Structure 1
Amino acid sequence: MDPALQQLLDKQAITEVIARYSRTLDWLDDAGQATCYWPDAQVDYGFFSGTAADFLPVVMAIERQSQRRWHMLNSVQIAFTGPDAASVECYGLATGIRETDGVWTGNLYGGRYLDEFARRQGEWRIAKRQYVMDWSVPLGPQNDGTPNPVLPLPILEIIASGHPMYRPM
């Protein structure tokens, strides 16, 4: 295959892993989240440093503490360091909304993901990740999950895996 075409295909595959990472966190898809990392990947989030296999139950437990969560990773930059290796950096915004004593609040976080990806047996996954939080802003009271009568859009409350609106992709 033309090397330029292969590089485009590899960039797309890596970008899809990053999108899957966000989506599977938000829908509490443990199995999908596991497909983003190699089990032996080294992960450092500050509060956790170890392998991805050990990190996944920790991060999913944290995500389950929120009734609503939202992750968006963007501005993905990919630099290939070998035929099966790439350094990847992207920015991330995340929020978690939870109900405490009848009040719905949360935080908005901004940070960056400093990743090393590896392709093994034709599949790209995160082989090393360091997360750096740049800022955090508390959010004021949030909607309690009841649609606004003026603009009655549905509001998801995802508190467990297997939400009926989740579509495996």
Structure 2
Amino acid sequence: MTGTDGSVPTRSGSSALDDLLDKQAIYEVVMRYCRGIDRLDFDLVRGAYHPDGVDHHTGFDGGVEEFIAWVRPKLALFGGTMHTIGNHLVELHGNRAISESYFAATHWGHPEFGDFTSGSRYVDLMERREGRWAIVERWAVREWTRSDEGRMITPEAAGPRGRRDGTDPLVELQSRLAAR
């Protein structure tokens, strides 16, 4: 919550450092969700929500498990997706928070819809339960969509490519570090 002078007041009984740590934890919930969607890692997606979490997307309203069952086959039809988070603002209200994240989501390689980018916002009600911040209710608010059909080009040279399976460079690096 922002004061009329633009300052960010701390919650009663909390310190500015506590507020920053909470805001960082909430930001990381949003980032893990995006990674999970883009890499088809539905455990990461599931972990961004509390078990009773609700999602409101274009064409969907329901619980987190139903959301995953709905989105998984849709995402599998794309060659890939990439979420880029822009503005991110959190209003803390004790163990609850409002998180607003502006983002662009690029989708490519769908046999029917082709390539497109959407500008949207995640408006999230977050709660801290047993020390863990997660989404209780999310609205994926679509602001605009544009067709990118015919704009994708073949990579200019060989090199690392993103994959949505266990061979992505991130997964390989995580495995390497976990083995040590």
The answer to whether TM tops 0.5 is yes
Offset at 1:4? 1.5
Paired residue for 1:165, among 169, 172, 178?
A: 169
Aligned counterparts of 1:99 and 1:74: Cα–Cα separation in 2? 25
Matched with 2:10 is: none
Structure 1 unaligned segments of length 5 or more: list them. Answer: none
Matched with 1:11 is: 23
Q: Look up the SS of the partner of 1:49 in the other structure.
A: strand
Q: Which has the higher contact order (CA 8 A, sep 6+)?
A: 1
Establish whether residue 34 from structure 1 lines up as the match of residue 46 from structure 2: yes
CA contact (8 A) 1:66 1:98 kept: yes
TM-score (norm 2): 0.79
TM-score (norm 1): 0.84
CA contact (8 A) 2:125 2:135 kept: yes
Q: How many residues align?
A: 160
Structure with greater strand share of residues:
1
Structure 2 unaligned segments of length 5 or more: list them. Answer: 1-12, 176-180
Offset at 1:135? 0.5
Establish whether residue 148 from structure 1 lines up as the match of residue 156 from structure 2: yes
Structure with greater helix share of residues:
2
CA contact (8 A) 2:49 2:135 kept: yes
CA contact (8 A) 2:91 2:99 kept: yes
Matched with 1:75 is: 87
Q: Look up the SS of the partner of 1:74 in the other structure.
A: strand
CA contact (8 A) 1:27 1:163 kept: no
Aligned counterparts of 1:14 and 1:49: Cα–Cα separation in 2? 22
Query: Over aligned residue pairs, what C-alpha RMSD do you find?
Result: 2.3
